[in-house]
């Protein structure tokens, strides 16, 4: 094996940036592969072109952090090999397969830090595939990167900290927010009070979004269940249940999501062992507190190793890099490592409370009509999935995919597997932990058939 | 708590062969227990290319293949679904003149079997199949061959067997099998003991365990196909297509996705799991854009592989054991088992119920390997349409 292979970092959000910074400080020259076109990741995503908006316009209370991370990364550029707009779509043994400039490249590695982040966790309801329905993350990206809103009059729906953050960002940018519809009861928010001891600043900021939304006249409703998107060709409104009553609200776009789900396909392809995580309701790669996985030389950092947020991602990025350095035989400051581990535990404690304040909606499918599409890529309905489960007495997720086609399309289950798991577990009265997980298959995202050999 | 089962026939391996045998035996009135270490039809039977093709098979396989050809149109009646089976025709392309000469030779050789092959020179082929492009020296078309969806067909046979009264035990691996005075005793799963009069070994790439237990190991190796599928696209490719002498085959399913394969995948550290190879996938993608320029803007959405048993002479083992009365083997289909499997199930039923079958299977006897020195399984298969 070649001893001189540089370490590779996949992803350039807060975790990837901090990992790169730590490796460079130790005298290493990492390769940083970023699907984005400028470093920052999802949370600190930068516009395509400078459009005069300030860091505060873009990142609000997190402007200082965003500015610092961007500046730090830009300062690293002479000391790293940065590949923006590059998609790692497969890991085969100790080789990364990626697409950059429309060409295929292979990069060998000995040490790899995966900081692949997360996407919105979504659940189907009637009309969710209509044009005009976006995830909260997509609504935020439109604003940050392209400087536009997803509609003139937007309803924000779901659960999770992003719900209030993005709604407030829209209001602040001059957008019209028709309503914020929270699927959790107001009482859940009282859990935030116990988060004070972990991070009072974050709690205050979080609560202030709701207060500021109200002060701008935005209606917030709790304990809501959407019944359908109104409109036949595009979004014209949203009907929802609050208590026993069904209400309708006019809007031309809907942003929704239920917290985040980690992107773990590359960890899976690299052979990492997984465990079921009750809090994230999904399977996560097994890591130690520094981010070491069961695969030699593979480290995880950021939300891709379990949802913990941007500040935790900075910590876990540095930790993973320090672990990598340590495992390569160089001494690292043990005090620094244990301080980071402690800080990471505190963030995990905070995350436990956030999960209670923004809970996943229970029994979602009790009120979802069978004709609702569950898998939008393959157009598989909820009733088809349930019939397939019952017809074959299915108890395993990959089997459900094979027999129902759900999860077989362009997204390979990235968008619908949470819903598939919920339906399977509810229909068969099985725990989510007991129905298996979809095995990752390359490519993790679609590739052009014309992909040509580039080089290594 | 030990669970005890007793049946006329126990079948090890719930792929398409084992499941179709289970269904046929139930219809013949025998009691059946069907076991799979994972899920029925989830290995090679369920993840293969889906070609339902007689063209290209060895002469020895054609009677078997013709028997299967009669079964496929009856799927709806047999298993309740048509399995997306269609007689779309199978087009074998020759890239070079010498490949076309081989196709002409093959057509001459198999004339007595009535496959009704139609031969085309390169120019004629492009007139007859106008969606075709790239270097084509000639082609051979079998109009009544076709394709089906293995993902649906194979599990549906197992379900039909269960509905017909077979006991189906999934996630139940058979650990031990011994001959007793009046049949066999098996241990399976965590808690199952099974007794039976007849034992069928249809465990695919895993079949050598039972063969070895009964002192007749076969030189069985493993092959891993490398498959690629595109996003759904407008329907344009009406036939299933394969290339003579080169590793490319392709069909377009009813939903619009192009399924294409060629080359080989590789086993993971746990050899029961495999992955497609990137090199093979890229080669297949490149060949597809040459043959079908209309795919220039398309995306591929998934690669996959599977695990299939391979034997040195590219023919399967089908028939009675050479060492043990009451034991029957059917495995090692060398990447070409999907089309013949339902007939193999019917033949196993013949053998169990009457001790003989009208379909010639002498060439597939396991005894052809009895006097073979071990380590004789180095020769790679030359068959290129892997796990069709």
- Residue of A438, A449, A452, A454 to mutate when probing chain B, most B C-beta within 10 A: A449
Phi, psi of B260 (to 5 degrees): -135, 150
| A309 and A343, same domain (yes or no) | yes
| Contact indicator for B241, B136 with CB cutoff of 8 Å | no
| Record: contact A409-B42, CB cut-off 8 A | no
Mean residue pLDDT across chain B:
93
| A334 and A410, same domain (yes or no) | no
Place of tokens 């130790």: A26
| A371 and A333, same domain (yes or no) | no
With H, G, I as helix, E, B as strand and everything else as coil, classify residue A63.
helix
| pLDDT band at residue B374 under the 50/70/90 scheme | low
**Domain spanning B89-144+222-310: which CATH class is it, in words?**
alpha beta
**What pLDDT is recorded for position B378?**
42
**What pLDDT is recorded for position B10?**
98
A27-61 burial code (b ≥16 CB/10 A, e <16): ebebbbbbbbebbbbbbbbbeeeeeeeebebbbeb
* B contacts of A415 (beta carbons < 8 Å): none
**Would you kindly state where each structural domain of chain B is located, as residue ranges?**
3-50+151-219+312-369, 89-144+222-310
Closest by alpha carbon to B22, among B205, B129, B212, B163? Answer: B163
* B contacts of A392 (beta carbons < 8 Å): 155, 159
| Record: contact A446-B255, CB cut-off 8 A | no
Token digits of residue A341: 């581990």
Within-domain flag for A1: no
Q: Residue A405 is part of which domain span?
A: 364-434
**What pLDDT is recorded for position B246?**
65
Residue ranges of chain A with pLDDT lower than 70?
1-3, 455-456
**What pLDDT is recorded for position B273?**
84
Beta bridge partners of B329: B201, B319
| Contact indicator for A123, A361 with CB cutoff of 8 Å | yes
| Contact indicator for A31, A7 with CB cutoff of 8 Å | yes
State the pairing for strand pair B299-304/B225-232: antiparallel
Within-domain flag for A443: no
| Record: contact B296-A402, CB cut-off 8 A | no
Q: What is the DSSP letter of A69?
A: H
With H, G, I as helix, E, B as strand and everything else as coil, classify residue A6.
coil
- Contacts of residue A13, defined as CB under 8 A and 6 or more positions apart, other chains included, come to A40, A41, A42, A43, A44, A115, A117, A302, A310, A313
Counted domains in chain A: 3
**What pLDDT is recorded for position B380?**
42
Interface of A with B (CB under 8 A): 90, 92, 97, 104, 106, 271, 378, 391-392, 396, 399, 402-403, 408-410, 412, 441-443, 446-453
Q: Is B129 left (phi over 0), alpha (psi -120 to 50) or beta?
A: beta
Place of tokens 């992107």: A263
* B contacts of A408 (beta carbons < 8 Å): 302
| A113 and A130, same domain (yes or no) | no
A229 burial type by CB count under 10 A (0-12 exposed, 13-18 middle, 19+ buried): buried
Token digits of residue B76: 């709806």
The alpha-helical segments, DSSP class H, found in A216-309 are 265-269
| A167 and A194, same domain (yes or no) | yes
Phi, psi of B95 (to 5 degrees): -80, -35
Strands (E), A81-175: 81-83, 86-92, 95-100, 103-108, 112-114, 118-120, 133-135, 153-159
Distance set, CA A308 to CA A13, A16, A207, A414, B198 (Å): 13, 15, 18, 19, 57
Q: What confidence tens digit (pLDDT) does each residue in B165-175 have? A: 999 999 999 99
Within-domain flag for A34: yes
Residue B142 has pLDDT above 80, yes or no: yes
| Record: contact A451-B285, CB cut-off 8 A | yes
What's the mean pLDDT in B191-213?
A: 97
| A65 and A181, same domain (yes or no) | no
| A126 and A247, same domain (yes or no) | yes
Beta bridge partners of A107: A96
CATH number of B3-50+151-219+312-369: 3.50.50.60
Within-domain flag for A449: no
| A147 and A246, same domain (yes or no) | yes
| A112 and A230, same domain (yes or no) | no
| A249 and A267, same domain (yes or no) | no
Within-domain flag for A359: no
Q: What confidence tens digit (pLDDT) does each residue in B324-357 have? A: 999 999 999 999 999 999 999 999 999 999 999 9
Q: What confidence tens digit (pLDDT) does each residue in A242-282 have? A: 988 999 999 999 999 999 999 999 999 999 999 999 999 99
**What pLDDT is recorded for position A2?**
45
| A127 and A253, same domain (yes or no) | yes
- Contacts of residue A275, defined as CB under 8 A and 6 or more positions apart, other chains included, come to A283, A284, A286
Query: C-alpha angle with apex B303: B202 to B47, nearest 5 degrees?
Result: 20
**What pLDDT is recorded for position B200?**
98
| pLDDT band at residue B286 under the 50/70/90 scheme | very high
Q: What is the CATH number of the domain that holds A237?
A: 3.50.50.60
Q: What is the CATH number of the domain that holds A418?
A: 1.10.10.1100
| A129 and A254, same domain (yes or no) | yes
Within-domain flag for A30: yes
| pLDDT band at residue B377 under the 50/70/90 scheme | very low
């Amino acid at each position: 094996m070649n001893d001189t292979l540089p370490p590779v970092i996949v992803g350039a959000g807060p975790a990837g940036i901090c990992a790169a910074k730590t490796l460079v400080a130790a005298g290493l020259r990492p390769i940083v592969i970023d699907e984005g076109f400028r470093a920052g990741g999802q949370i600190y995503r930068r516009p395509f072109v400078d459009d005069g908006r300030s860091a505060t316009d873009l990142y609000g209370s997190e402007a200082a952090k965003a500015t610092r991370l961007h500046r730090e990364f830009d300062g690293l550029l002479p000391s790293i090999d940065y590949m923006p707009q590059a998609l790692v779509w497969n890991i085969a043994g100790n080789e990364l397969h990626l697409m950059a400039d429309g060409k295929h490249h292979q990069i060998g590695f000995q040490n790899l830090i995966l900081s692949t982040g997360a996407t919105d966790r979504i659940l189907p309801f009637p009309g969710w595939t209509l044009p005009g329905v976006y995830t909260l993350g997509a609504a935020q990206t439109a604003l940050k990167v392209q400087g536009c809103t997803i509609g003139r009059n937007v309803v924000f729906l779901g659960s999770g900290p992003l719900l209030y953050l993005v709604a407030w960002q829209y209001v602040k940018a001059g957008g019209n927010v028709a309503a914020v519809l929270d699927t959790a009861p107001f009482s859940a928010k009282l859990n935030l009070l116990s988060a004070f001891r972990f991070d009072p600043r974050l709690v205050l900021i979080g609560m202030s979004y709701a207060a500021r939304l109200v002060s701008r006249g935005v209606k917030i409703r709790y304990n809501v269940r959407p019944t359908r998107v109104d409109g036949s060709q595009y979004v014209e409104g949203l009907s929802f249940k609050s208590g026993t009553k069904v209400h309708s609200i006019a809007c031309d776009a809907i942003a929704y999501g239920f917290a985040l789900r980690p992107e773990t396909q590359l960890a899976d392809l690299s052979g990492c062992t997984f465990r079921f995580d009750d809090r994230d309701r999904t399977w996560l790669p097994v890591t130690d507190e520094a981010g070491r996985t069961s695969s030699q030389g593979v480290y995880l950092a950021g939300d891709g190793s379990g949802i913990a947020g941007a500040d935790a991602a900075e910590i876990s990025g540095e930790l993973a890099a320090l672990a990598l350095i340590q495992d390569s035989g160089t001494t690292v400051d043990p005090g620094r490592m244990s301080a980071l581990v402690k800080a990471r535990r505190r963030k995990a404690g905070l995350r436990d409370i956030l999960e209670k304040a923004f809970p996943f909606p229970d029994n979602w499918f009790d009120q979802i009509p069978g004709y609702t599409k569950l898998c939008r890529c393959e157009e598989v309905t909820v009733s088809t999935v349930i019939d397939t489960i019952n017809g074959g007495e299915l108890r395993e997720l990959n089997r459900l995919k094979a027999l129902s086609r759900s999860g077989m399309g362009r997204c390979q289950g990235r968008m619908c597997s949470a819903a598939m798991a919920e339906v399977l577990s509810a229909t068969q009265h099985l725990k989510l932990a007991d129905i298996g997980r979809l095995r990752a298959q390359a490519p993790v995202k679609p590739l052009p058939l014309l992909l040509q050999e580039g080089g290594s | 708590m030990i669970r005890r089962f007793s049946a006329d026939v126990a079948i090890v391996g719930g792929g398409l062969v084992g499941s179709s045998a289970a269904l046929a035996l139930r219809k013949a009135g025998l009691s059946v227990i069907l076991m799979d270490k994972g899920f029925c039809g989830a290995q090679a039977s369920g993840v293969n290319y889906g070609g339902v093709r007689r063209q290209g098979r060895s002469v020895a396989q054609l009677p078997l293949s013709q028997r299967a050809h009669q079964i496929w149109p009856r799927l709806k009646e047999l298993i309740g679904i048509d399995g997306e089976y269609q007689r779309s025709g199978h087009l074998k392309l020759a890239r070079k003149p010498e490949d076309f000469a081989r196709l002409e030779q093959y057509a001459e050789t198999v004339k007595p079997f009535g496959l009704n092959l139609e031969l085309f020179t390169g120019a004629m082929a492009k007139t007859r199949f106008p969606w075709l492009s790239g270097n084509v020296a000639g082609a051979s078309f079998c109009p009544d061959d076709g394709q089906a969806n293995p993902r649906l067909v194979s599990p549906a046979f197992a379900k039909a067997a269960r509905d017909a009264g077979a006991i189906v035990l999934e996630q139940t691996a058979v650990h031990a099998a011994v001959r007793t005075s009046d049949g066999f005793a098996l241990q399976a799963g965590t808690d199952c003991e099974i007794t039976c009069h007849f034992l069928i070994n249809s465990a695919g790439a895993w079949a050598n365990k039972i063969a070895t237990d009964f002192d007749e190991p076969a030189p069985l190796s493993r092959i891993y196909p490398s498959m690629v599928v595109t996003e759904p696209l407008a329907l344009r490719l009406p036939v299933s297509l394969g290339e003579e002498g080169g590793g490319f085959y392709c069909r377009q399913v009813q939903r619009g996705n192009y399924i294409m394969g060629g080359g080989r995948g590789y086993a993971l550290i746990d050899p029961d799991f495999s992955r497609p190879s990137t090199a093979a996938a890229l080669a297949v993608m490149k060949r597809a854009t040459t043959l079908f320029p209309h795919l220039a803007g398309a995306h591929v959405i998934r690669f996959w592989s599977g695990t299939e048993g391979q034997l040195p002479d590219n023919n399967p083992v089908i028939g009675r054991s050479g060492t043990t009365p009451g034991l029957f083997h059917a495995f090692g289909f060398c990447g070409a088992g999907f089309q013949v499997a339902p007939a193999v199930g019917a033949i196993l039923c013949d053998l169990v119920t009457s001790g003989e079958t009208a379909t010639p299977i002498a060439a597939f006897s396991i005894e052809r390997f009895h006097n073979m020195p071990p380590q004789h399984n180095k020769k790679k298969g030359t068959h290129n349409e892997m796990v069709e």
